[in-house]
Structure 1
């Protein structure tokens, strides 16, 4: 199985993206610059940003005067003012690196002062605005804002709660009528001092990398973007941001929903906001959006092959394969580096360690690429879940499982849980076959239900193997962690399920039932007996009117595992229990009466 970490080996051609972005950063005429590495969750943004950071930290780039700082967007999630916290952290990184230069310390102190004033302005500007516009009492607003700061002195809050608070604050504002404009002055001073700090530190270019911005809360996303905006007029600075643009746009919408005009053609709410305005706002902050492409079929095939090689081979063996892969890609960029290629280039001996899973999954790589949208993290998680379910299959001794069928069903499970559940609900409990699958696999596209008509679902239906003739009960049993809210019958151990179906057949003679009970139920270990009675109890509770099912309790009342489930079932069903079943229960559990 595979860890969900940033890989040291580039199996996806991310080095190319990193080199392109680094080349952009070295174009001085482009600075100051903000570049967004955009892609879905799990598309490889973090891997690319890590490669950029590692390259820029090498001596060759440091000798060029490029100073690189790396942050995770979560770093400032717990701060009351993430914007100020990010700005302060950048200054601190530079000060710590160049602390032997006295002038750097001096400029850094001025920058901290500007940042602290911006923190104060977050409180005082709303206060001044409220006063000058003749609004209601300004005290609640001030107290609310002050409480956002963990270091706010309690005596200030006590003063604001006193009778003299309003006069004290109004007097302060009259003495300082330009209070609101102080923030603009601090911003100008910050930019001026930041430029000087870079010069005193001999930094020719400051590069700040911020990853996982899209994992922050909406307010923190905007705070980080607002901090970056302050650097847009600071020469020789570049910000690289890794994020899912959809999440960032949603955060902008959330933050400014009261300021942006609504689109009259759309319904009420945040969705009615003009999306173009939101995108325009984002584009002003991110001058260059670098959108990561989804992996192609051949790239998915290559990626899966290399993952299996990494898992199966020793470190030395995999290194030889990886180096050969790099050489291969220089000449055949668009071709898949698969098992056949490895065999032809490195010999048959090296691939003997690869098991059938690699070949099987690679055969489905086109389907995986389409249904999982070429997402590297989703592919890796799919492979891990496939391997885990294989281990469960082996532990449960389910020898009749066709692993290609298992993989194909899992692809649908990842692609569309609702369609996966639809097939599950359609299964015949005796044959395990789906009438819908049989119909849809033969149907033309125009005859399919609307929710089965998208391109990837049609490709899934048309791919091999066809599932109509397979008993799928065991396959869904392996997926029971995703189907726990559905019918208990399908999610039970196959042996118990088969026994229950046999015993619950309609009009089964009493002697036959007792014979099956003696030969198959009584010989089970306690754990499996409990599983049987749990299933029996659930089925009775679903429909208490079925008198026949109660007999299965009555015939085995002497078993220790039976009584508690029997009691729970009767108690739960209450008045819905048929009179005959109620009398039998009272007779068996209270024989003296």
Structure 2
């Protein structure tokens, strides 16, 4: 067990890891001694990038100074978002930086180092999105495939979340604080950039993968444990626990739960509570249920009726999909639709 660090500590740690990447071991230890003597870590503030540069340059060889400056500037631009997402986990912080350094080296190998070959700030920003929400990362790749003179769907999403009066179900998953913070980080206007090369470098992340459980907070793990042994009467309490999670933890809980819904491992009274109470995740739940392979029985009818009362169109589309696949018989369909009669 590794105790959680504060966001400030994670940001400082990330910057120190960049220094370590470009320092021989002895020089890095000397750098840390200097930091300790000057008591920079005692401050309540994050050590700014200029101060890191000033303190580190004496310990970095001339051949690495340009690469160090470039990397430290890029990481400084995203460190607050990364720190907020990693929940105080130093191991995940190091893993993120290693991923960025590896992808950067691959980019130089594949595309060269000429100006314009690849913007490392864009690469870092995409890696942050992959960490925040892999589903949105995959969606952005799909949007990028339809790029013409610009990424029209990314542009529409920007307009949607920037306008308080524009509520579009399609972009609801993008309209949460952590993702908005990511959208607003530099470089902001990704709709102007064709991202093919960046997604090629991160192609293994475009496959649906299990959530890295080590990144879940204690509260998110507690919620998942309760879902795993939920009785009907406990669902209101579980809903309250999920509602109390921050946006990132909520997203990760649903990332864990939706594949289990698809496999038929989650009872319909649980699915009903999640669907009815968390509108932002209805599309994900419906997408999972479209791949449901078990027969729909009379036992599930009351739960599906409640889901249908909450969102008629989504559930009727789902029922039509089930009927075509053969898992929903016509008489069960009629029973579900008896609601209100």
* Shift, 1:430, TM fit: 5.5
Count of paired positions: 194
Matched, 1:357 2:71: yes
Question: Match of 2:124?
Answer: 407
Cα distance in 1 between the residues matched to 2:138 and 2:44 = 37
Cα distance in 2 between the residues matched to 1:374 and 1:382 = 13
Instruction: Give CA-to-partner distance per residue, 1:164-216, whole Å, 9 cap, x none.
Output: xxxxxxxxxxxxxxxxxxxxxxxxxxxxxxxxxxxxxxxxxxxxxxxxxxxxx
Matched, 1:314 2:24: yes
Counterpart contact for 1:371–1:412, Cα < 8 Å: no
Cα distance in 1 between the residues matched to 2:177 and 2:152 = 22
Matched, 1:470 2:193: yes
Instruction: Give CA-to-partner distance per residue, 1:246-303, whole Å, 9 cap, x none.
Output: xxxxxxxxxxxxxxxxxxxxxxxxxxxxxxxxxxxxxxxxxxxxxx44531x323311
Question: Match of 2:34?
Answer: 324
Cα distance in 2 between the residues matched to 1:462 and 1:471 = 18
Question: Match of 1:178?
Answer: none
Tell me the secondary structure at the aligned position of residue 203 of structure 2: coil
* Shift, 1:429, TM fit: 4.3
Instruction: Give CA-to-partner distance per residue, 1:11-34, whole Å, 9 cap, x none.
Output: xxxxxxxxxxxxxxxxxxxxxxxx
Structure 2 gap segments, 5+ residues each:
209-341
Structure 1 gap segments, 5+ residues each:
1-44, 47-291, 486-593
Give the TM-score taking structure 1 as reference length.
0.30
Counterpart contact for 1:360–1:404, Cα < 8 Å: yes
Cα distance in 1 between the residues matched to 2:179 and 2:84 = 9
Matched, 1:366 2:80: yes
Counterpart contact for 1:432–1:470, Cα < 8 Å: no
* Shift, 1:478, TM fit: 1.1
Question: Match of 2:204?
Answer: 481
CA distance 1:430–1:455, change in 2 (3 Å): closer
Counterpart contact for 1:441–1:462, Cα < 8 Å: no
* Shift, 1:432, TM fit: 8.2
Cα distance in 2 between the residues matched to 1:402 and 1:331 = 31
Matched, 1:392 2:106: yes
Cα distance in 2 between the residues matched to 1:430 and 1:442 = 17
* Shift, 1:308, TM fit: 1.7
Question: Match of 1:453?
Answer: 175
Equivalent residues in 2 for 1:22-33, closer than 5 Å:
none
Equivalent residues in 2 for 1:582-593, closer than 5 Å:
none
Counterpart contact for 2:31–2:59, Cα < 8 Å: no
Counterpart contact for 2:86–2:92, Cα < 8 Å: yes
Which contiguous aligned blocks of 4+ residues in structure 1 show a shift greater than 4 angstroms?
A: none
Counterpart contact for 2:4–2:87, Cα < 8 Å: no
Cα distance in 2 between the residues matched to 1:331 and 1:417 = 33
CA distance 1:343–1:357, change in 2 (3 Å): closer
- Alpha carbon RMSD of aligned pairs, Å? 2.7
* Shift, 1:333, TM fit: 2.7
Instruction: Give CA-to-partner distance per residue, 1:50-80, whole Å, 9 cap, x none.
Output: xxxxxxxxxxxxxxxxxxxxxxxxxxxxxxx
* Shift, 1:330, TM fit: 6.7
* Shift, 1:484, TM fit: 5.0
Question: Match of 1:295?
Answer: 6
* Shift, 1:336, TM fit: 2.5
Give the TM-score taking structure 2 as reference length.
0.51
Counterpart contact for 1:424–1:476, Cα < 8 Å: yes
Cα distance in 2 between the residues matched to 1:453 and 1:299 = 28
Structure number having the greater helix percentage? 2
**Aligned to 1:426, which of 143, 153, 176?**
143
Equivalent residues in 2 for 1:168-183, closer than 5 Å:
none
Equivalent residues in 2 for 1:111-150, closer than 5 Å:
none
Cα distance in 2 between the residues matched to 1:469 and 1:367 = 22
Tell me the secondary structure at the aligned position of residue 87 of structure 2: coil
Counterpart contact for 1:321–1:342, Cα < 8 Å: no
Cα distance in 1 between the residues matched to 2:126 and 2:134 = 11
